[in-house]
Structure formats: C-alpha cells, structure tokens
Amino acid sequence: MDHLKHIFIISLVLLFSKLNAQTKNDEKYRPQIHFSPKDKWMNDPNGMVYHNGIYHLFYQYYPDSNVWGPMHWGHATSEDMIHWKHQSIALYPDSLGYIFSGSAVVDVNNTSGFAVNGKAPLVAIFTHHDPNGEASGKNDYQYQSIAYSIDDGKSWIKYKNNPVVRNPGIKDFRDPKVMWFAKEKKWIMTLATLDRITFYSSNDLKNWTKESEFGENAGAHGGVWECPDLLPLDYNGKKVWVLIVSINPGGPNGGSATQYFLGDFDGKNFLPFSTETKWLDYGPDDYAGVTWSNTGNRRIFLGWMSNWSYATVVPTETWRSAMTIPRELKIMKVNKELFVASTPVKEMAAISSKPIDISKKIPELNFPGMIELEMKKPEDFSIVISNDQREELLIGYDKATNRYFIDRTKSGIINFHEEFPAQHFAPRLSNKSKIKISLVIDVSSVELFADDGLTVMTGVFFPGKSYDQLRIQSTNHIPLKSLRYVKLNNIWK
C-alpha cells in the first residue's frame, strides 16, 4: 500500500513539473505575446499551414544549443495564431542532410497519392542541406525534398524517393514555398536560387518542371536571396501578385530584411510592375517571413524577429529569438503606386484590454501593451519608453526627412554586437496629413505600424530592467488627436 502511495506521489510530482515546464515563460526578456521556442535556438518560420481549425507553425530549430546548428523543424500549434502549444519536433536531420526552410500544403485533391482512407495529407516541402557535401567543397549540396503527414501534422513520413528537385550546381538553392495555382490546377514552387527566384511547377508535388526565373536584374542584391513567397492579394476585385524575397545582408538598415515586388503571375512567369525594391518591414528585426497557406482570402504573414548580424549573440540564454506578431497583408494605393500594408491580425483582440485614454496624463505603464497615437498633421515627435535606470527606446517621426525611426542606442544592453546600437529609419509612404501609428510593445521588442501598416518597423531591445514609463517629446507643439494604451495579456497564462 505504501508502495502505491509512493508511486502516486511521484507521478503527481512528475505531472506537476511537466505542467510547470510547459508554462514556464517568465525568464528575463522572454516575449509575453510573441511565439518563442521553449528553449534553444530558433530561426525562420516554416511550413505554416492552416488545417482543420488549427494554425501550424514549424520553425528552424536546433534542440541542442542556443546557437544555430544541424537544423530540425520544431512545431507549434494554435487556434488563433496568438496562443501557442509547443509540439514535438516534426522533422529531424537524416542521411540527406539538415532540414532547412520550406513550406507545407494541404493536398486536398490527393495529387500526391499520400492520402490514406480518403483523408487529405499534409505535405511539407523543404530543403535538405548536406553538410558533408558543403565541407567537401561541392556546390550542389542543397536540394528539395518532401514529407507527408496523415495524422493532421502530428507525425511526418519522409518520401522514399527524396530529393524531388535536384541541384543543378547552384550553391544557394533553397527555401521552397509551394502554392496551388487553381487556374491551371497545378502546384507552383517559388525557390530562392542565389541571386534570383526560380519557379517550378508540378502536378503531384513529386515531379517538378522549371518554368522561369526572376530577379537577376531586379531589386536589392546586397546579399543572398532567401525564403521567398508568391501570393495573390485582392485589390478592388483584381488580383495583384506579391513576390516576397528575404535578403541577407543588404537590408535598408543593415543585415537581414525582406523586400517584395508587385506584379502579375501567369502560371509560368512573374511579370513585375516595377523592378524597384519595396520593403515589407524597414526595421532590423523581421526576417525570413512568409504567409500561411490554406487561409482562404486572408494572407497572414509571420517573420523571424531577429537579424543574422547578431542573432546568435543576443543576451538571452535558455532560448534564442521569437516570431513577429502575425500580420494581415493587403494592398494600398498611394498616389498611383501600389504597396503592401501589414497590420496585426484581428485575433489580437483576444489578449487586448479596453483601450484607455492617456492623452491628458500618462500613468505608469507596463508592457506588453499597445500604444496608439494620432496626430492631426505631421510634426516631429518621439515616443520615449524608459525605466528608472535611464535606459530608453525612442520611436518617432522626423518631419524634415519625412521618416519614421526607432532609436535603440540607449535601450539597455547593446554592446554584444557593434551593429546593434543604432537609430533605424523608414520612409513615410502615406500622403495623408493625419499621422496614425500603432506600437505593439513586448518586454523585448517593438513593432511600429504607421499609417495603417504602410510603413512598418520591427526592432528588439534588452533593457536592464523592464520599461514602465512613457513620455512624448518634441521641439514643437504636438498636434495630438488621440493617445491610447491597450494592455496586452500574456499568451502563455
């Protein structure tokens, strides 16, 4: 009897520590409203697919260290893209190599033949990176492979005839993003191939034919092209195709960043309206972002909230980095030009308290929280978020150059990398006189959505002590229309 009692108590203790492990999310700098891995290293979001009411998020994961290493696909699930449940690792490295970035689709018509008992399979399309090939000086060590799941993403089976796209001799040959091109009933793979994008098509996700290339003479080329995405957005009843391409280095504020092109896609070629680069996010910390597949008419983007310049040395120990807030993409027109605007998904309402008016008097605040500010006309200003240790983060607008900025030069711990402490700028694209900005502030990140998402900036920071003060400063009178604070509730509780 005593023996049974003993076992019962041990089981209780084990259960409790397991629950505790799942919910322990209060370390210093641990994001409270953004997805981050329970522990160890994470980079790009991967395989984002919506299926049976669940948003799946896979991610580049190295479970043995807090710096980059042999890549796996970590896995998390959510019903609202805000609250997440950690799942077990979905894909492990194998004899073909590490599991690099890629995408996932629901194969509704069973084109792949992977269905069992009529249940549509999920198919993941990813890059195999062979470290031995790389070490031996070859240039064909990255190729595309697939895996499928017949239990709604819980477990994955790698296809026996991998790889499905062989390497033609291009060193950087990776990050397949696959979508269904309904008009011609075929799959399109958008692949980053060194300094351009290569499009492939397939009827069954297994046999791929090269269709075209884009970008050798378009856009920014300060670094290698990675993690592309091709997606249609509706604009006044017409389809506008967006080609998203991450680039590292060569971002507008140094290091990694994500550019995009707008144009048409005819099933074979991407035909850009312009070959000039536009930036999805001007800040230093939004990289490798792509959109969820199978979300109907909604296009929801999620990025990795870091920068390859310093990602491996940011001052967090048990885990490294987080994802951005999921953002809904839409087309907006300014004068005669089209842009992609991004705003936090409406599901944020689930963690938002009632907005409070702080325009008369700013109380002591705590973050995570949202700051919403409206001004009748453009005027210089800085929103200063700080603590009593004189550490501060400035987010503002400079009228003379018509630019928004984030200044983290005095934001706290900044000396872990020389490129970290800086003031970052982004052009104001809107032509409206009213300025409207919304800041999503977590304990170690800020996301600035200006003018309904036309100009976006994301930056991380590491104050010695949490910020709890806010003030607005300007050399001139600020034509304030409104200033509101929205408390955001911890997603892990």
Residue 17, classed as helix, strand or coil, is helix
- Closer to ligand FRU by CB, 112 or 193: give it: 193
CA distance 387 to 32: 18
* CB 348, CB 326: distance < 8 Å: no
CA distance 425 to 439: 15
Closest contact distance (angstroms) between CB of 41 and ligand FRU is 9
Closest contact distance (angstroms) between CB of 328 and ligand FRU is 23
Closest contact distance (angstroms) between CB of 67 and ligand FRU is 12
Full 3-state SS string of 256-298:
CEEEEEEEEECCCCEEECCCCCEEEECCCCCEEEEECECCCCC
- Closer to ligand FRU by CB, 66 or 127: give it: 127
- Closer to ligand FRU by CB, 101 or 316: give it: 101
| Catalytic annotation present for 44 | yes
- Give residues in contact with ligand FRU (CB under 6 A): 43-44, 60, 71, 100-101, 127, 174-175, 226-227, 288
Residue 470, classed as helix, strand or coil, is strand
CA distance 75 to 58: 4
| Rg for the chain, CA atoms, rounded | 23
Distances (CA, A) of 139 to 129, 145, 192: 11, 17, 15
- Closer to ligand FRU by CB, 120 or 245: give it: 245
CA distance 450 to 431: 12
Closest contact distance (angstroms) between CB of 378 and ligand FRU is 35
- Closer to ligand FRU by CB, 224 or 472: give it: 224
* CB 44, CB 101: distance < 8 Å: yes
- Closer to ligand FRU by CB, 70 or 479: give it: 70
CA distance 138 to 169: 9
Closest contact distance (angstroms) between CB of 248 and ligand FRU is 7
2, 26, 39, 44: which is the annotated catalytic residue? 44
Matching residue, tokens 């939004």:
286
CA distance 112 to 287: 31
Residues with a catalytic annotation lie at 44
